[in-house]
Amino acid sequence: GSANITAGGALALALGIAIQNFPEGAIISMPLYSEGKSKPRSFCLGVLSGAVEPIFGGITVLISSMVVPAMPYLLSFAAGAMLYVVVEELIPEMSSGEHSNIGVVFFAVGFSLMMALDVALG
């Protein structure tokens, strides 16, 4: 099928990817730094972990006609995997410890940002 890509849709996608890349890079870089790697090396390895995204994005564009029929199933699987990680790992870790309120505040800020972007761009 043909896809009508609008500037708003492309902007929403680019903004979502950019926002998602910050914690993704941090989750790679911070443990490396705490294990004794230098700041520049930890940062570079975090950036390098995102280098595969444009490569596989390009591959996906090339094979998009084959991917489109499976997209609902692939997105459902990805959403389920993310929800599992959040419920099983992140929420319990966020609510434990001495400064558990900081995690709750940033969770609320992130959720509010996601909802604002959904309303503004949706």
Band (1; pLDDT cuts 50, 70, 90): very low
Note the pLDDT of residue 2: 52
The reply to whether 77 and 53 lie within a common domain is no
The reply to whether 71 and 54 lie within a common domain is no
> Does residue 109 have a pLDDT over 70?
yes
Domain-terminating residue out of 62, 88, 114? 62
The reply to whether 24 and 4 lie within a common domain is yes
Q: Angle, nearest 10°, between helix axes 7-34 and 100-121?
A: 160
CA distance 11 to 16: 8
CA distance 91 to 25: 19
The reply to whether 3 and 53 lie within a common domain is yes
The reply to whether 72 and 121 lie within a common domain is yes
Indicate yes or no: pTM above 0.75.
Answer: no
Band (50; pLDDT cuts 50, 70, 90): confident
The reply to whether 2 and 52 lie within a common domain is yes
Mean pLDDT in residue range 22-28: 86
Query: What is the extent of the structural domain holding 15?
Result: 1-62
Choose among 15, 16, 41: nearest CA to 28: 41
Domain-terminating residue out of 21, 36, 62? 62
Domain-terminating residue out of 13, 41, 62? 62
The reply to whether 72 and 55 lie within a common domain is no
Q: Check the CA dihedral 87-30-105-113 and report its sign.
A: negative
pLDDT tens, position by position, 57-74:
888 888 878 878 888 998
Number of independent structural domains in the chain: 2
The reply to whether 84 and 115 lie within a common domain is yes
